[in-house]
A and B are shown apart, each in its own frame.
Chain A
Amino acid sequence: MKTNSINQSQGFFSRRQLLQTAGGGIGSWALSHLFNNDHLHAEEVAPGPLTSKPPHHNAPAKSVIFIFAYGGPSQVDMFDYKPALAKWHGKSIPVFDKSDAFNKTTKDTAMMSPYSFSRHGESGLHFSELIPEIASCADDICLMNSLHCESNNHAPALFQMNTGFILAGRPSMGSWISYGLGSENASLPSFVVMWDHRGGPIGGAQNWTSGFLPAAYQGTPLRSVGQPIIDLHPTKNLKKGQQELRLRMLQRLNQQFVDKNPLEQELAARIESYELAYKMQFAAPDVVDLSQETGETQDLYGLNRPISAYFGKQCLLARRMVEKGVRFVQIYSGGADQQLSWDAHSGLRNNLDQHCPEVDKPIAGLLKDLKRRGLLENTLVIFGGEFGRMPTNQGTIGRDHNPRGFTMMLAGGGVKGGMTYGATDEFGYAAEKDPVSINDFHATCLHLLGMDHEQLTFHHRSRDMRLTDVSGTVVHDIIS
């Protein structure tokens, strides 16, 4: 109800409208104008930073759900089946290079996966026993097995996966995509971030910063318990219409200030942020209201089991948000550090036995639910971390960070299902066949969303900046 009463494509009210009536008495601002935008014609609405923009080329994907397994999930125990490791178990592998490892206790001896792999779906993709539910979606999944990144340390690798650069401060992928396409829903942030209940990823907000892009493209953290956003609701004793009256006066005075300082972009951005904030008050509670979902749907996401309930709820929220036009949703699985994240330096099995069941059912549920609603074609779902893990052992049973070769799981958004792309060497150590750099990966994601990564630029410090810097090749083979 609430979302319907607010025009999705327009702000709290347009600046043009304000200008036209400036000088007229406040009395002319009947309350009904606030919600009734029908009289506004399209040309009256000044485009804001989040106005929906056409893509460079036609493409099916409209939204992205990026499930970030923070800490570095182990590709050789989940996706990238390497029978050779059993043969080499306990023996030094020739490809090992000590300088790739993050930790000194990492050995050069192969450690076979303690988990068994089997083929799934008509496509016969390999998945380990850790993720049987995801495996049941094999024919919708593309396993990109040949990613590689440039740092073996969490923070730089996280920054690279999110922003293309190993140092903090560049705009994140979600910001670039919001900048390129705008938002389909002016009442919700275009870029939403949800954290693990154990804490956020290292580097915090630097992972969803808009960098040098306008601040309007920054990720907005959304909580999945309690009030979804701090101070979302007006204080209880406010009268009906009181907030609207305040806001109209506020925006009117703010606009006068902007008129005096038309070149200060931050001032206009702040007006925009109030319009968005106002509408979020109605849209956010609506989108997080999972009681609107059937029991069957909730079970599909694993909400009925304690192990997967928290993450399942976030996945379900993600679907509800992309359904309502949110452009980019990022969910972090794993928080804080060490075993609380996917960082299985020791106790590999404990780590994966904990984290995989948390996400398996929810991710599978998400894919199935998107598919049956016809949303999968328009939604690119990504699952993976900042790097992978070594096929050799660290300590007794642990794996170190591996930037040289790891897997990203893609589904939907025009990605071919039931395929693998690229390959690591026989040990799962380094990307060997069709290696995919982070720039390539980002270029491909942008392409799936209808954007040319070389054309999506922002002029900053005398240069046209890109998410992909100066390289990046679209992996066309995975596009259906």
Chain B
Amino acid sequence: MNTQLWRFFALLGCVLSSLSPTVSGQQADTHWSFKPLRNVIVPQLESEWPENPIDSFILQKLNDAQLQPAKPATAHQLTNRLYLDMLGILPSSSPLLALNNDDSSVAWSQQIDQVLASPYYGERWGRHWLDLARYADSNGFEFDFVRPYAWRYRDYVIAAFNNDMPYDRFIKEQLAGDELNRSSLQSWVATGFCRNGPTVGNQTLDKNRYEELHDVITATTEVFLGLTVGCARCHDHKFDPISQKDYYSMLAIFHTTDKREHFIGTPEQRRLYNDLRQRKKNLGEKVRSATSEAQAGVWTLEQGILSQSSMVNNTRVWLGDTSWSDYIFEVDFLRTRVTQQPFSFDAGVYISVLAKDYNNGYTLQLGASDGREHALHYEIDNSRHSLRPRVSGKLTNDQWYRLRVEVGDGHHKIWLNDSLLFEFDDKRHQSGGITLGNWSTSTQWRNLRVTNKQGKSLLDSFPSLQTLARPNKADGFDIEAIKQQIAQIDNQLATLPLAQSITDTSSLAKPTNIHIRGEYNNPGDSVEPAIPAAVSNIAVEFPTATKDAPTTGRRLILANWIADKDNPLTARVMVNRIWQFHFGRGLVETSSNFGLLGFEPTHPDLLDWLATEFIRSDWSIKHIHKLILESATYRQSSHRTDAHATDPDASLISRFPMRRHDAEVIRDRILQASGSINLEMGGPGIHPYIDEEIIGTGTTRKWPHVKHENTEHWRRSVYIFVRRSVPFPLLEGFDAPVTTSSCSRRITTTVPTQALQLLNSQFTNQQSLKMAQLLIRTHGENRQDLIRHAYGRVLGRRPDTNELQLSIEYLQDAETLHNTTAQDNLLYALQDLCHVLINLNEFVFMQ
């Protein structure tokens, strides 16, 4: 395999298997990105083209490749590019929207200042950071619990970009905000970066913990340093000079942390918080009992025989009382499948004898799994004791079985389908009742009888099935109403001043070991906190924190090292990201991998020059934007000609690379063109309409039912609630990232399902109608005016004569087709035209 190909791999991650030779230390010492920033000299070229040093660096490479820079883009293209690149929308006062744009009236530099001062800038560029920070509003995995305070991190990022927070401070706050400023809510909120990753479910607690630590180490090193340290979890890195010891030394820095919902607010807010929590708990209890009751409703009792009319989820029925002794119960059951989740006693079907709570008594699990392969598993007092002899054989799914249990005189017999499985003595449990239940919709019960030795049914003596099914029955109430109350409380809770944060549990650091082969329960040598040795020439020490210190102080030391101006990676990595989001690809294409497997920069001098500028400007991101936006490089036309044959992917920037807009820009621009957009900023995530069929997967409802969208749903896409298990379809369809790990660069796909979404979704049809209504309301019924303004709103330009003519004829045809009243004909025809325009290539591509 050649080097080129190895480089390719690096785009997407690290190599886990043993495919290639380990890189020698020699190479690591000389790897470009680990060396200090160079003092580069701006090339002096005989050309009028350069506007600033960026252009000189770019032009030099173009000259080397015998290429010319492209002509400047047209004024409307440039303005569109600037707004959509920087803000993701056109400002409401946009000359383009108002359509009286005079191309020369606003100087370019003035336009740049405008976009950099706009609050919508933070929403657009903050979104890029949220991709990197794997931001989501829920935990992920099966239950996918909501993170009610996550949104504060999103808003923190947006504000940080808007305020041009110095990047070194941005780093420190996200890694160690709790250590930096303990009295600032924002500072705590920033540490949300460390826990944005998915939270692993259904594993042992220790294992979860190491997964979370792995997530934060991986994210920290990839995002801030462009290093793929994660590979070193199980073995020394195959390519980069990162040893397994380095990984665990890094882990030692985070090891003492824990998650905390940190409250910084007034005493009144605290009281409100406690009060809401209590109310929520009470209501939840009420729902639980009511739900159980409703499920009990599928039971019928006729002539002493109890049956289920259908399968229900998570039933538990308790029968009997202490007066029961010497009795026999029999029941038929059918199991459709072996359930495995979410509990470890995952038989799916259980019967507890003499136990209301299955803590005291014995439990028979039918067709138990978890490594125990027999029809019946016996568990006494909630501890596992398999009966001897074990029963061989297994249950067949979809088949009715008859179970019979004889309880009496301390001797118990268990029969299955009329054959005696086993008998045993158990003097402790000889009177009481039975609990039977199932954890999922996998089981059905029928023909349950309980009789005494004389054959008399004991179930007849129960007054009603309700009491039988649920001893502490709830009052009648409307469950849906209560669920809504709970949702309201959740909304209130989410706005209270709580930070979804991390902090150290103590100043005393937890000891850390290397884990052999990366296994959480296989500790090896102990390690001390340290930063990756080969990457840094800055000496870093981790002194032991004083006893009265609130934290170990280790994360702040790490953050200070990352944010040190002498760190060779930090500034390079960040200016490269800024470049990438402007041009679609970085000067280093592998923008989260500056290691030996990463690509080399196409313009190393430019990269170092920008990084130096970045530090010199006190880590001002807006300063870098300004340099780029002012360059002639940025203002080139995107028009690709045969002259570009030697720069097919525009890596030399011989033109502005044309590319499809991000998903959020497409949705936000539709909303803006239709006039629906609600530009309110910040706050808890919103839940626009999602098709019921999509929500309907999984065990619990994870997205509210929205009948009709309204203005509260028409906010910018960055505010859409990020539920890991229910990705928002329009955004997902247009390549919004999955949030399992940091995403440094989105993939762009073109598939027919995207066309279906823009053609057929309720959203695009509704918004094109609203646009048509707005146009007619504002501009009357003159077809030409309507067409001009439709073009202005959607494409930010005037139609040319050909387009105008086509559109006029199109409106005529469409009006004929609609064939209702003249007024409606125009409205619907105009809707058709607007719908066409928001589907156009020109609309979804940045030129």
Among A75-83, A234-242, A366-374, the stretch in contact with B: A234-242
Q: Contact at B340–A26, with CB atoms within 8 Å?
A: no
> What string of 1s and 0s marks CB contacts (under 8 Å) between B1-28 and chain A?
1101100110111011101000000000
A241 CB contacts on chain B under 8 angstroms: 817
Asked if B51 is an interface residue, CB under 8 A from chain A, the answer is no
Are A209 and B747 also in contact (CB < 8 A) when A306-B336, A347-B369, A398-B371 are? yes
Using a CB-CB cutoff of 8 Å, which residues 355-412 of chain B contact chain A? 369-371, 373, 394, 397-398
B19, B640, B839 — most chain A CB neighbours (10 Å): B839
Name the CB-closest residue of B to A396.
Answer: B371
Among B80-88, B208-216, B275-283, B750-758, the stretch in contact with A: B750-758
Q: Contact at A227–B693, with CB atoms within 8 Å?
A: yes
Q: How far is the CB of A241 from chain B (nearest CB, A)?
A: 6
A153, A165, A233, A270: the one contacting B750 at CB < 8 Å is: A270
Asked if B111 is an interface residue, CB under 8 A from chain A, the answer is no
Q: Contact at B340–A264, with CB atoms within 8 Å?
A: no
Asked if B813 is an interface residue, CB under 8 A from chain A, the answer is yes
B639 CB contacts on chain A under 8 angstroms: 260-261
In the assembled complex, the Cα of A450 lies from the Cα of B206 at a distance in Å of 52
Q: Contact at B759–A350, with CB atoms within 8 Å?
A: no
Name the CB-closest residue of B to A339.
Answer: B340
A350 CB contacts on chain B under 8 angstroms: 338, 340, 369-370, 373
Q: Contact at B841–A270, with CB atoms within 8 Å?
A: yes
A25, A165, A204, A231: the one contacting B809 at CB < 8 Å is: A25
B1, B398, B522, B755: the one contacting A307 at CB < 8 Å is: B398
Count residues of B near A (Cβ-Cβ below 8 Å).
82
In the assembled complex, the Cα of A442 lies from the Cα of B721 at a distance in Å of 41
> What string of 1s and 0s marks CB contacts (under 8 Å) between A224-255 and chain B?
01110111111100010111011101101110
Using a CB-CB cutoff of 8 Å, which residues 303-353 of chain A contact chain B? 305-307, 336, 338-340, 346-347, 349-350, 353
B9, B658, B691, B840: the one contacting A261 at CB < 8 Å is: B658
A221 CB contacts on chain B under 8 angstroms: 753
Are A264 and B658 also in contact (CB < 8 A) when A234-B759, A239-B817, A346-B371 are? yes
In the assembled complex, the Cα of A110 lies from the Cα of B17 at a distance in Å of 25
> What string of 1s and 0s marks CB contacts (under 8 Å) between A256-281 and chain B?
11101101101101110110111011
Asked if B550 is an interface residue, CB under 8 A from chain A, the answer is no
Asked if A462 is an interface residue, CB under 8 A from chain B, the answer is yes
Asked if A27 is an interface residue, CB under 8 A from chain B, the answer is yes
A209, A271, A305, A395: the one contacting B371 at CB < 8 Å is: A395
Q: How far is the CB of B726 from chain A (nearest CB, A)?
A: 13
Among A54-62, A122-130, A133-141, A212-220, the stretch in contact with B: A212-220
Q: Contact at B370–A151, with CB atoms within 8 Å?
A: no
A48 CB contacts on chain B under 8 angstroms: none
Are A231 and B12 also in contact (CB < 8 A) when A204-B738, A252-B806 are? no
A452 CB contacts on chain B under 8 angstroms: none
B729 CB contacts on chain A under 8 angstroms: 230-231
Are A215 and B398 also in contact (CB < 8 A) when A153-B16, A347-B371 are? no
A463 CB contacts on chain B under 8 angstroms: 2, 4-5
Q: Contact at A277–B755, with CB atoms within 8 Å?
A: yes
Name the CB-closest residue of A to B203.
Answer: A338
A114, A151, A271, A305: the one contacting B373 at CB < 8 Å is: A114
Q: Contact at B756–A280, with CB atoms within 8 Å?
A: yes
Asked if B818 is an interface residue, CB under 8 A from chain A, the answer is yes
A103, A277, A346, A353: the one contacting B370 at CB < 8 Å is: A346
Name the CB-closest residue of A to B763.
Answer: A231
Asked if B835 is an interface residue, CB under 8 A from chain A, the answer is yes
Are A277 and B832 also in contact (CB < 8 A) when A104-B519, A250-B840, A395-B371 are? no
A168 CB contacts on chain B under 8 angstroms: 12-13
In the assembled complex, the Cα of A338 lies from the Cα of B207 at a distance in Å of 15
Name the CB-closest residue of B to A254.
Answer: B841
In the assembled complex, the Cα of A333 lies from the Cα of B751 at a distance in Å of 24
In the assembled complex, the Cα of A357 lies from the Cα of B803 at a distance in Å of 60
In the assembled complex, the Cα of A461 lies from the Cα of B648 at a distance in Å of 10
Q: Contact at B752–A189, with CB atoms within 8 Å?
A: yes
A231, A234, A307, A338: the one contacting B340 at CB < 8 Å is: A338
Q: Contact at A215–B749, with CB atoms within 8 Å?
A: yes
Q: Contact at B371–A242, with CB atoms within 8 Å?
A: no
A336 CB contacts on chain B under 8 angstroms: 142
In the assembled complex, the Cα of A470 lies from the Cα of B5 at a distance in Å of 11
> What string of 1s and 0s marks CB contacts (under 8 Å) between B509-521 and chain A?
0000000110101
Using a CB-CB cutoff of 8 Å, which residues 393-425 of chain A contact chain B? 395-398
Asked if B836 is an interface residue, CB under 8 A from chain A, the answer is yes
Q: Contact at A253–B813, with CB atoms within 8 Å?
A: no
Asked if B641 is an interface residue, CB under 8 A from chain A, the answer is yes
Name the CB-closest residue of A to B805.
Answer: A25
Q: Contact at A26–B398, with CB atoms within 8 Å?
A: no
Q: Contact at A280–B752, with CB atoms within 8 Å?
A: yes
B810 CB contacts on chain A under 8 angstroms: 26, 245, 249
A231, A232, A305: the one contacting B398 at CB < 8 Å is: A305
In the assembled complex, the Cα of A456 lies from the Cα of B658 at a distance in Å of 29
Q: Contact at A307–B397, with CB atoms within 8 Å?
A: yes
B4, B15, B747 — most chain A CB neighbours (10 Å): B747
A220, A239, A339, A470: the one contacting B1 at CB < 8 Å is: A470
Q: Contact at A307–B841, with CB atoms within 8 Å?
A: no
Asked if B110 is an interface residue, CB under 8 A from chain A, the answer is no
Are A230 and B756 also in contact (CB < 8 A) when A253-B840, A349-B373 are? yes
Asked if A3 is an interface residue, CB under 8 A from chain B, the answer is no
Q: How far is the CB of B183 from chain A (nearest CB, A)?
A: 42
Asked if A434 is an interface residue, CB under 8 A from chain B, the answer is no
Q: Contact at B806–A469, with CB atoms within 8 Å?
A: no
In the assembled complex, the Cα of A243 lies from the Cα of B693 at a distance in Å of 24
Q: Contact at A169–B11, with CB atoms within 8 Å?
A: yes
Asked if A451 is an interface residue, CB under 8 A from chain B, the answer is no
In the assembled complex, the Cα of A242 lies from the Cα of B336 at a distance in Å of 48
B371 CB contacts on chain A under 8 angstroms: 346-347, 395-398
Q: How far is the CB of B601 from chain A (nearest CB, A)?
A: 16
B15 CB contacts on chain A under 8 angstroms: 166-167
Asked if B309 is an interface residue, CB under 8 A from chain A, the answer is no
Asked if B421 is an interface residue, CB under 8 A from chain A, the answer is no
B519 CB contacts on chain A under 8 angstroms: 103-104
Are A27 and B750 also in contact (CB < 8 A) when A230-B756, A252-B806, A469-B1 are? no
Q: Contact at B8–A232, with CB atoms within 8 Å?
A: no
In the assembled complex, the Cα of A189 lies from the Cα of B749 at a distance in Å of 14
Q: Contact at A253–B806, with CB atoms within 8 Å?
A: yes
> What string of 1s and 0s marks CB contacts (under 8 Å) between B269-290 and chain A?
0000000000000000000000
Asked if A52 is an interface residue, CB under 8 A from chain B, the answer is no
Name the CB-closest residue of B to A346.
Answer: B371
Q: How far is the CB of B13 from chain A (nearest CB, A)?
A: 6
B765 CB contacts on chain A under 8 angstroms: 235
Are A277 and B373 also in contact (CB < 8 A) when A104-B522, A156-B16, A261-B640 are? no
Q: Contact at A249–B755, with CB atoms within 8 Å?
A: no
Q: Contact at B809–A274, with CB atoms within 8 Å?
A: no
Q: How far is the CB of A479 from chain B (nearest CB, A)?
A: 28
A254 CB contacts on chain B under 8 angstroms: 840-841
Q: How far is the CB of A240 from chain B (nearest CB, A)?
A: 9
Name the CB-closest residue of A to B522.
Answer: A104
Asked if A354 is an interface residue, CB under 8 A from chain B, the answer is yes
Q: Contact at A274–B752, with CB atoms within 8 Å?
A: yes
In the assembled complex, the Cα of A235 lies from the Cα of B767 at a distance in Å of 13
Q: Contact at A166–B813, with CB atoms within 8 Å?
A: no
**Nearest 7 A/B pairs, CB to CB:** A277-B755, A350-B369, A215-B750, A339-B340, A226-B693, A277-B752, A396-B371
A-B contact pairs, 10 of them (CB 8 A): A26-B806, A26-B809, A215-B748, A215-B751, A216-B751, A220-B752, A270-B755, A397-B371, A463-B2, A470-B1
Given contacts A26-B809, A260-B639, A306-B398, 20 further A-B contacts (CB under 8 A): A25-B809, A26-B810, A114-B373, A220-B752, A229-B756, A232-B760, A242-B817, A253-B840, A261-B640, A266-B658, A266-B748, A267-B841, A276-B755, A339-B341, A339-B369, A340-B341, A349-B373, A349-B394, A463-B4, A470-B1
